[in-house]
Amino acid sequence: MSKTNLKSIPSVDSLIQHPKIKSLKDIYTGDFISYSIRTILNEVRTKTKKGNTVPPVYEIISEIERFILSISEINLKKVVNATGIVLHTNLGRAPLGEKIFNEIKSAITGYSNLEFDLGSGKRGKRTDHILELLKYFTKAESAVIVNNNAAALSIVLRTFSEGKETIVSRGELIEIGGSFRLPEIIAASGTKMIEVGTTNRTRVPDYENAINKNTGVILKAHKSNYTIEGFSEEVRIKELSALLKKKKILLVHDIGSGLLTDTTKGIFDQEPTIKKSFAEGADIVTFSCDKLLGGPQAGIIAGKKNLIDKISKHPLMRTYRVDKLTIALLSAALRSYIMNDGRIDLPIYNMFYRTREELKSLAGNLCAEFKKQKIESEVRESEAFSGGGSMPNVKLSSYSVVLNLPGNEKNIAQNFYKKLLRAETPVLAILRKGEIHFDVLTIFDEDIPLIAKMVKSVL
């Protein structure tokens, strides 16, 4: 690499005067354009120092335009979920639907009584807007809301076990999404983790033998994203509660998946409910709001009032609290459970309760829409999943529409799959054995013509 090559890189001032760049000044600020030019020129300079030749000016201009568009366009956008995974973590877990959005619109587009008691005219608490609903559903004395379930568990341990020991079964040392592991959360909460039992078997004496004067909390973690089968044994909440009442040690149950109420659908039989956990003797229960509850990302800590009050007064609690948007969304989601129409009117439950006939009809409609666009496809039976750290052993009967792509090479399907993700409205399908599948369990009715349009655009 010679200094001559570096000297041939155009200057910021010369690029600012280029007609294509000048035309961008009608849309973007001068500072932002200058920042974008410098960013691309730094990339060019780094590559040139490694021996690459300096690209022509028109290529540099194109890169600057691409960079500006990549930042300025809306990056968070609608994605059609055709994977059959209801609570897809990478797609934001529980979709909330237009009904909830319309309910909260007026409360979030202007000012609201987030922390203002309209009755007394004095300052109120943001949790008050949904506290009574949470008490009703959980049968707890009180509750508080935080960013997510990991935050919920963290603040509970900081409040009651910081500088002490937290006992947990080896078979419950879970890893949650994004490579976050329970042992790491426990350690970061300032408490020492004491593992008891083995991966597959833990009994009451294992806990009893580990308890000492420095024990702060016994943590029971629901295995919401995996199962241990075969030669296995775990201690139930009721058994732990009986042990700890004598010891005056807190029993914390991390449910995670957050099934709020009993349902008539058998697929939920293996999931614990919050109120059942309290009925069996848990002191504090933590759970997510964007999984089986069907609401926004948040974490709930429910339990006895004196314990919740202590958590609420922790100095770090302010860093864990949620904003007005989360409160409004969660309030609307919870209200869906108390309407007397025989069905929880939330998108995830509308999916879970779809019958085989409804799913087959939906698949037929998608096939018909493809046919209108002269796209060949066929309907096949499929298996869908709850996902998102819930019901790991449950397979949901569904139907998929499979494209009949020209050619048999695997790379055709792979390229098609990637192009669908870059479509005007991205479509996340299933790439399986060189085929493209669209599982209809997680497809909304209004998405059907859109999917056909995006597939046509890619073809």
Q: Is residue 341 part of a domain?
A: no
Q: Is residue 340 part of a domain?
A: no
Residue type at 77? K
Residues 217, 255 within the same domain: yes
Closest CA to 328 of 89, 78, 109: 109
Of all residues in the chain, the percent with pLDDT exceeding 90 is 72
- The answer to whether 168 and 198 are in contact (CB under 8 A) is no
Comparison of pLDDT for 389 and 124, the residue scoring more: 124
Residue-wise pLDDT tens digits, 285-295? 999 999 999 99
Q: Is residue 342 part of a domain?
A: no
Residues 67, 84 within the same domain: no
pLDDT band (50, 70, 90) for residue 407: low
Residues 179, 36 within the same domain: no
pLDDT band (50, 70, 90) for residue 340: low
Q: Is residue 411 part of a domain?
A: yes
Q: Is residue 330 part of a domain?
A: yes
Q: Is residue 344 part of a domain?
A: no
pLDDT at 262 exceeding the cut of 70: yes
Q: Is residue 194 part of a domain?
A: yes
**Stretch (H or E) spanning 219:** strand 215-221
Mean pLDDT in residue range 339-363: 89
353: exposed, middle or buried (C-beta count within 10 Å: 0-12, 13-18, 19+)?
Answer: middle
pLDDT at 244 exceeding the cut of 70: yes
pLDDT at 408 exceeding the cut of 90: no
Residue at a domain's end among 305, 335, 365: 335
Average pLDDT, the chain: 90
Give me the DSSP letters along 329-394: HHHHHHHTTS-SSSS--SHHHHHHT--HHHHHHHHHHHHHHHHHTT--EEEEEEEEB--SSS-TT-
pLDDT at 8 exceeding the cut of 80: yes
- The answer to whether 60 and 10 are in contact (CB under 8 A) is yes
State residue 409's pLDDT score. 64
pLDDT band (50, 70, 90) for residue 396: very high
Residue-wise pLDDT tens digits, 24-71? 998 999 999 999 999 999 999 999 888 888 899 999 999 999 999 888
Of all residues in the chain, the percent with pLDDT exceeding 70 is 96
pLDDT at 458 exceeding the cut of 70: yes
CA distance 185 to 389: 17
Residues 121, 209 within the same domain: yes
Q: Which domain holds residue 37?
A: 3-71
Q: Which two tokens stand for residue 228?
A: 């241990």
Give me the DSSP letters along 394-451: --EEEEEEEE--SS--HHHHHHHHHHHHTSSS-EE-EEETTEEEEEGGG--GGGHHHH
pLDDT at 1 exceeding the cut of 60: no
Residue at a domain's end among 335, 357, 375: 335
pLDDT band (50, 70, 90) for residue 410: low
Q: Is residue 343 part of a domain?
A: no
Out of 155-164, 317-326, 337-346, least confident range: 337-346
Give me the CATH number covering residue 161.
Answer: 3.40.640.10
Residue-wise pLDDT tens digits, 431-452? 998 899 999 999 999 999 999 9
Residue-wise pLDDT tens digits, 358-371? 999 999 999 999 99
Chain-centroid distance of CA 108 in Å reads: 22
CA distance 353 to 346: 11
Comparison of pLDDT for 304 and 393, the residue scoring more: 304
pLDDT band (50, 70, 90) for residue 7: confident
State residue 247's pLDDT score. 83
Number of domains in the chain: 3
Strand partners, 144: 301
Residues 122, 84 within the same domain: no
